[in-house]
Amino acid sequence: MTKQSFKSTLNYYDENAVEFACQTLSIDMHDLSELFINQLSYADKTVQVNLVN
């Protein structure tokens, strides 16, 4: 990734982060989180569950 491309990517996220957060804040991620957690090892699950809960 070039320096200009990196800056362009950062600018995109900087400009769209608030709108994205507002649009996705109410989405229930429980089912997706469960699918993700089930793919983790026991040690990783301990860390992940603490972050999710």
The mean pLDDT of 19-34, rounded to a whole number, is: 90
Distances (CA, A) of 3 to 6, 8, 10, 11, 46: 5, 9, 11, 12, 37
Q: How confident is the model at residue 45 (pLDDT cuts 50, 70, 90)?
A: low
- Distance between CA atoms of 40 and 52, rounded to whole angstroms? 14
Could you tell me the two tokens for 8?
């362009």
pLDDT per residue over 11-21, tens digit each? 999 999 999 99
